Amino acid sequence: MSPKRELLRADDGPRSPMQFRMTYTGIRVKDIEDSLRFYTEILGMQVVEPLQPTPPTEGQVVTLRSPGSAQVLELNWYAAGSRFGNPYSNGEELDHLSFECDDLAGAVRELELRGVEVTVRPKEIGAEAGWNEAFVKDPNGIWIELLQTRRNPAD
């Protein structure tokens, strides 16, 4: 196997005390209905989780997947005035990347020690809806969602 291929294998390499697994990509859209039609009717994606309101973020979300793909795309729309809904401008459609981790609180503490900016702390938003997530920013200002791994349906 080539050295480059070795780097691409998910099961290789040193393990960090914070093991993150990328789960999906979320993009911000201007019009959720138009975007949903585009991705389903034109690009052939299928709805994985239906369009629903997200009261903690004052928006709406729908999750899509292409047939035969494990990748998931989350379309996010936010109302004017939402903490998450900055004025929309082309080139800023990437809303966030999402990573799952086993110990959310521990991961946030470790990231803070490493100088990472925490923008939303665990359970700061959505706790009443059962969300257990946090957001940090990468060096470019891209929001990274950290999700607590669900160990069983009761988690």
* Domain-located, residue 5: no
Does residue 13 form part of some domain?
no
Q: In angstroms, rounded to a whole number, what is the distance separating the alpha carbons of residues 121 and 145?
A: 10
Instruction: Answer yes or no: is 133 within a domain.
Output: yes
Q: Which CATH number covers residue 116?
A: 3.10.180.10
- Structural domain range at position 42: 18-148
Is 155 part of a structural domain of the chain?
no
pTM for this entry: 0.61
Tell me, yes or no, whether 66 lies in a domain.
yes
Tell me the per-residue pLDDT of 20-55, one tens digit each, with 9 for 90 and over. Answer: 888 889 888 888 999 999 888 887 899 999 999 999
What is the structure's pLDDT at 1? Answer: 37
Name the more confident of 16 and 32: 32
Task: Give the whole-angstrom CA distance, residue 24 versus residue 4.
Answer: 24
Per-residue pLDDT of 49-108, as tens digits, reads: 999 999 988 999 999 999 988 889 999 999 988 888 777 666 667 778 888 888 999 999
The single-letter DSSP state of residue 102 is S
DSSP for 135-146, written as a single string = EEE-TTS-EEEE
Count how many domains the chain has: 1
Structure tokens at 72: 């998931």
